[in-house]
Every structure is written in C-alpha cells, then in structure tokens.
C-alpha cells in the first residue's frame, strides 16, 4: 500500500493545486486561488515583504464587518452600534476593492487617495443616513474618518512593517484600530452633541471614558517615542514623557468625570466584593507570570510550544472568570491591559536602555516562527483573540456569555488543546496542512466539555448550548486545521460568526 505523502505547511502554494479535494477543485476556489496567487506575485515583484506564508488571507477582511452587520440585523442595537456596523461595511468594500487593485498592480500602495476610497465612503454613508439619525453631514464625516485612515493605515502596515502581517491579518488589525478610534469619537460626539442617540448607561459610560483615556494617553506616549531623537533616548526623557502623559490623562478624566475621578475608580474596584476578588486573583496571576518570565529570561532557555500555550491558558482563565462574574469590569480591565501591552511593545522598540534590552530578552525567549517581522505581534494577537468579543458583541445585560466566550473557547481552550494533543498523539494529517485530525477532534471535544461543565455548575445559562457550541467548535477547529493566518486572530472571529449563525436557537 502506498503511503499518502504529507504536504508541508510552508511549501509553495503551487503544490497545493494538486490536492485532490472537492474544495480545491471547485470553480469558486480556483478563482480565489488565482486572485491570491497574482496578488502574491505583484507584492513580491514590488519587493514588499509580507509574513512568509503561502496565502494572503484576503478572505479575512469580511470577518469583523460580517459580525457587526449580523448583530445589527438580528438584534435591536443602539444607533451607535449601527453606525459602527455600517462603517465596517464601508471598510469591507474598500478591502475588496483594495484586493482587486492589488491583483492588477501595487500602485495602490503608494497612492494617497483613490476612487476605491471615495466609492467606499459613499457606500457606508448611504446606510448610515437611511437607517440612523446621525444626518447626512455626520454620516459623511464619520465615513471619511473611517475609510480614509483605514486605507492609509493598511498601506503603512504592509509597506513599513515588513514580514509582520499577511494582507488579511493587516486588514483585520487595521479595521479594529480604525473602528475602535472612530467609536471613541462617536461616543464623545453623542455624549456632548446628540445625547439622545446614546443609550444612557452610567457604568458603561464611566468605563468607556477610562478605557479611551488610557488608550489615547498610550497613543500619545507611543507617538512621542516614535519621534524621539537618538540623543534623547534615555530614562530622564522617558520620565518626562510619562509625566506629561499622566497630566494629560488626569486632565481628561477630571473634565469628564469630575474631581473625584480617581477615588471613584478605586471605589468601583473595592466597592464590590466580586470585583475585589477578581482583581486580587488577576493581580496574583500577573505577578506569577512576570516571575516565571523573568526566571526563563535569566536562564536563557528558549520557550517550547507548550510553554507558550501555558499563557493561552492563563489568559483564558482571566477572561473566563471576568465574563462569567462581571462583564463591565472585564471590559474595563481588558481596555486598560490593552494599553499596557501596546506600551510595552513601544518601549521594546524605543531603544531606551536598559528597558528595551530587558523586554527584547524576554521576547527572544518566547517568540515563535510567526514573530519574524519588526513588531512582536504574538502577544497582541492572543490578547486580541480573547478580548475582541467584548468589543463586538452588543452586550447590555442580556444572556450572551457564550458569544462573549468565543475567544476563550476557540483560542484559549480549543487551539491550545489541538496543539498539545496533535503534537503528542496525532498521526493523520489534514491534506496540505501540518495539523492533525486527532488534534482537531480533541479541539472540538474539549470546547464542548468546557461548556458542559460551565452549564452543569450553573455558571453559564445558554439554551441549546450543545448544538451551538458544537457548530462553533467544529467550524473554528476546521479553520484552525487549514488556515495559514494567525490562529489567535481568525479563530475567535470565525467562532463568533458560527455562534451568531445559530443564535435563532437561543
């Protein structure tokens, strides 16, 4: 009997054409494959280096817009959420046009404004004007604030960050950044100009102000570090930058929340026994993580895949406990933590000693083959995967914990389980992949077991959880087995879409 030849995960994409599967022989797949292949040729001919994998992942551009639009259609959401969903539609339109332009040439990467931008702005302006109360002028303003920065940021990510992103990954991350920033602008606009469009929720308003203040402060600090001259890269100047950042943050918080902004923040944490317990547990986990990280960095031992996956489990534990016990507090904590992660990466790249050297040493220990670019995206991707459902799901006290846990299930539990079990016991490989069928099966099984125990101990109330979890776990596991895009980014989004597709059972 002839033994089936295993195709390497990183072989040239031409070899994948000979995989005899129904998917690869379909007309739609051949068309997409030809498009992707031509985009790859054009990018390489222009000496632009994307992350070295066979696929550009152009399909990824539809994930976030599809989630936002599906929730807008299926649920009664706020005008603000509809605004963001329609802006996401505009970004999707531009992403499609951008892919088609890349198919023809890479000139779009160097143009400041093109017809694709204008068309996409108009395509998002019309539904905002028709289906929300923002008015034509504001609909156009928000569309311009979303589509044009997205086009510039996408080009910057591909041209100025070599070997860091695939095209699809760059689209996801740029969509996330732009939509998050425009959401903050829209929140302040509705709060001070048209408050009737913003559903009043004092707790969520308090949280949003703190999250956006922290992230905007981090943005200012990162900008200052980027433009810092070599002779000014020292601890003294860094201290001055941080001091100005602190003054800026306190000023904004004082203007928005009053002179008791800091005491109110402390009381918000310690005033609830549940929040105090969560904060204490998370603090202990962070301290232990830092100590382990310092130990391995000092020893100089290169971290194994299992060691890296341990951080997936710790992250999943933090988000799981927060989602099941106090979603608003989890939103606050995740927003502030995102700022800290971004700031640490900026400090690593700042070349301010000894901080940069220490962070670089830790990165060298825990980086993997995906971290071949200028940015350390692995921890950012992991955090994005765990936290993105908190930003995408229109949670307002309703029972949607299963959707909020899509990142925990797909990345923290499923992907970790597939990696461990497949590495140890896997023997049957998927065609064209280094992932095993045994790992995929264990991925699905462990996700369902996790939800079963949460339901058994009444920590989770999710009707028809068996069908919904089964579908979402199967879809995310199959994508994990076949995709060459970063798992931590695409799996939570795919899982969330699958859960939304079965939401009629809830």
pLDDT value at residue 108: 84
Give percent of the chain with pLDDT exceeding 70. 90
pLDDT given for residue 188 in this prediction: 73
Query: Which pair of tokens denotes residue 462?
Result: 């999710």
Q: Is residue 89 a contact partner of residue 123, using CB atoms and an 8 Å limit?
A: yes
Three-state secondary structure readout of 368-406: CCCCCCCCCHHHHHHHHHHHHHHHHCCCCCCCCHHHHCH
pLDDT at residue 14 in the model? 38
Per-residue pLDDT tens digits for 418-461: 888 888 888 888 887 778 888 889 999 999 999 999 988 888 88
* Range with lowest mean pLDDT among 136-150, 180-194, 226-240, 380-394: 180-194
pLDDT at res. 6: 38
Cα gap 245→222, rounded to integer Å: 10
Does pLDDT of 96 surpass 80?
A: yes
144 and 81 Cβ atoms separated by less than 8 Å: no
Q: How far apart are CA 487 and CA 478, in angstroms?
A: 11
* Residue 506: pLDDT band with limits 50, 70, 90: low
Q: Beta strands of 96-226 (E only): which ranges?
A: none
Residue 193: per-residue pLDDT: 62
310 or 483: which leads in pLDDT: 483
In the predicted model, is pLDDT for residue 201 greater than 70?
no
Helices (H), 132-166: 135-160
In this prediction, residue 503 carries a pLDDT of 80
| Tokens (6 digits) for 374 | 């200028």
Measured between alpha carbons, how far is 208 from 185 in angstroms, rounded to an integer? 11
Nearest alpha-carbon partner for 409 in 433, 388, 424: 388
Mean pLDDT (the chain) is: 85
Neighbours of 463 (CB within 10 A): 10
* Nearest of 417, 393, 416, 422 to residue 503 by alpha carbon: 393
Q: Which residue has the tokens 């790859």?
A: 40
- Name the CA radius of gyration of the chain, rounded: 23
> What pLDDT is stored for residue 134 in this prediction?
85
pLDDT band at residue 319 under the 50/70/90 scheme: very high
Longest dimension (CA), the chain: 78
pLDDT of residue 4: 37
> Is the model's pTM score more than 0.85?
yes
Task: Tell me the pLDDT band of 397, cut-offs 50, 70 and 90.
Answer: low
Of 234-243, 336-345, 377-386, least confident by mean pLDDT is: 377-386
pLDDT tens-digit series, residues 244-277: 999 999 998 998 888 899 999 999 999 899 999 9
pLDDT of residue 417: 85
pLDDT at 21: 45
Phi-psi bin for 338: left (phi > 0), alpha (psi -120 to 50), beta? alpha
CA distances from 356 to 238, 343, 346, 349, 351 (A): 12, 12, 9, 7, 5
Contact 374, 252 (CB under 8 A): no
Residue 483 has pLDDT above 50, yes or no: yes
């Amino acid at each position: 009997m002839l033994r089936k030849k295993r195709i390497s995960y990183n072989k040239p994409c031409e070899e994948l054409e000979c995989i005899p599967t129904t998917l690869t022989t379909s007309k739609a797949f051949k068309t997409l494959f030809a498009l992707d292949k031509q985009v790859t040729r054009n990018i390489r001919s222009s000496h632009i280096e994307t992350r070295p994998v066979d696929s550009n992942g152009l399909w990824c551009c539809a994930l976030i817009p599809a989630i936002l639009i599906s929730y807008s259609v299926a649920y009664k959401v706020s005008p603000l959420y509809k605004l963001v969903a329609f802006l996401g539609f505009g970004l999707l339109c531009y992403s499609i046009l951008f892919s088609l332009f890349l198919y023809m040439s890479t000139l779009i990467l160097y143009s400041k404004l093109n017809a694709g931008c204008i068309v996409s702005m108009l395509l998002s302006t019309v539904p905002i004007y028709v289906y929300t109360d923002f008015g034509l002028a504001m609909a156009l303003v928000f569309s311009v604030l979303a589509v044009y920065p997205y086009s510039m940021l996408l080009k910057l990510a591909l041209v100025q960050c070599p070997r860091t992103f695939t095209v699809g990954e760059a689209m996801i991350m740029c969509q996330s950044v732009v939509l998050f920033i425009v959401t903050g602008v829209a929140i302040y606009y509705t709060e001070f100009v048209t408050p009737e469009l913003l559903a009043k929720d004092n707790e969520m308003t308090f949280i949003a102000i703190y999250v956006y203040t922290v992230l905007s402060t981090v943005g200012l600090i990162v900008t200052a570090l980027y433009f810092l001259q070599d002779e000014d890269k020292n601890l003294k100047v860094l201290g001055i930058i941080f001091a100005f950042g602190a003054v800026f943050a306190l000023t904004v918080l004082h203007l928005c929340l009053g002179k008791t902004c800091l005491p109110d923040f402390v009381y918000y944490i310690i005033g609830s026994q549940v929040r105090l317990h969560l904060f204490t547990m998370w603090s202990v986990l962070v301290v232990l993580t830092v100590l382990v990280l310092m130990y391995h960095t000092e020893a100089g031992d290169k971290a194994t895949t299992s060691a890296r996956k341990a951080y997936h489990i710790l992250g999943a534990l933090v988000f799981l406990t927060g989602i099941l016990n106090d979603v608003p507090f989890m939103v606050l904590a995740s927003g502030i933590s995102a700022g800290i992660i971004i700031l640490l990466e900026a400090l690593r790249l700042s070349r301010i000693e000894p901080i940069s050297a220490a962070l670089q040493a830790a990165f060298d220990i825990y980086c993997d083959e995906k971290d071949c670019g200028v940015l350390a995206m692995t921890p950012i991707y992991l955090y994005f995967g765990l936290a993105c459902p908190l930003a995408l799901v229109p949670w307002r006290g309703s029972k949607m914990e299963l959707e909020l846990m899509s990142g925990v299930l797909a990345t923290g539990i499923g992907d970790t389980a597939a990696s461990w079990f497949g590495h140890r016991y896997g023997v049957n490989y998927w065609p064209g992949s280094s992932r095993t069928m045994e790992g995929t099966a264990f991925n699905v099984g462990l996700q369902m077991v996790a939800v079963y125990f949460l339901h058994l101990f009444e920590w989770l109330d999710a009707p028809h959880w068996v069908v919904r979890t089964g579908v979402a776990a199967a879809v995310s596991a199959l994508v994990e087995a076949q995709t060459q895009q970063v798992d931590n980014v695409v799996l939570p989004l795919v899982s969330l879409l699958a859960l939304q597709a079965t939401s009629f059972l809830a």
